[in-house]
Structure 1
Amino acid sequence: MKSSVIIEMTTEEVQDALLNERESLAKMKMQHAISPLENPMVLKEKRKDVARLLTELTKRSKEAQQ
């Protein structure tokens, strides 16, 4: 998920996407522990997506406080 897409989302959509990405990442980690994923780089991308979403939420909360 690109940052430009995240910026265009509403705060509620970002929170929902964050929840979905975290659930997806947890499932992938479990699958990877049982049997290796075909492309383990997907885990890295999911982690980065979660970080992007958290960064955007933090940015918005700081803007709201000011």
Structure 2
Amino acid sequence: MKVSVLRDMSREELLEKLKELREGLFNLRFQHVTGQLENTAQMGKNRKDIARILTILGETARKSAVKG
């Protein structure tokens, strides 16, 4: 997912997307352990998307803390 798309999302949307990605990563890990996962690169993509969202949430929290 592109960072520009994530930056346009609201905080609530980001938190919902984060929840979805974490659940998806859990399922991918489960599939990987059971040998059902064919595209293991998807795990890395999910982890990176999670990191992107957490970074954006942290940036916005720091900006609002400085302002208020």
Alpha-carbon separation, structure 1, partners of 2:39 and 2:27: 14
Unaligned runs of 5+ in 1: none
Alignment of 1:1-66 (within 5 A): 1-66=1-66
Alpha-carbon separation, structure 1, partners of 2:5 and 2:60: 15
TM-score normalised to structure 2 length: 0.93
Identity of aligned residues (%): 36
Give secondary structure in 1 for the equivalent of 2:57.
Answer: helix
Unaligned runs of 5+ in 2: none
Number of matched pairs: 66
Alpha-carbon separation, structure 1, partners of 2:30 and 2:39: 14
* C-alpha displacement of 1:38: 1.1
Which has more radius of gyration? 2
Q: State the Cα deviation string for residues 17-45 of structure 1 (Å, max 9, x = none).
A: 00110010011101110114111001000
Q: State the Cα deviation string for residues 1-27 of structure 1 (Å, max 9, x = none).
A: 110100000010001100110010011
| Root mean square deviation, CA, Å | 0.8
Alpha-carbon separation, structure 2, partners of 1:33 and 1:60: 36
Alpha-carbon separation, structure 1, partners of 2:36 and 2:49: 21
Alpha-carbon separation, structure 2, partners of 1:24 and 1:35: 16
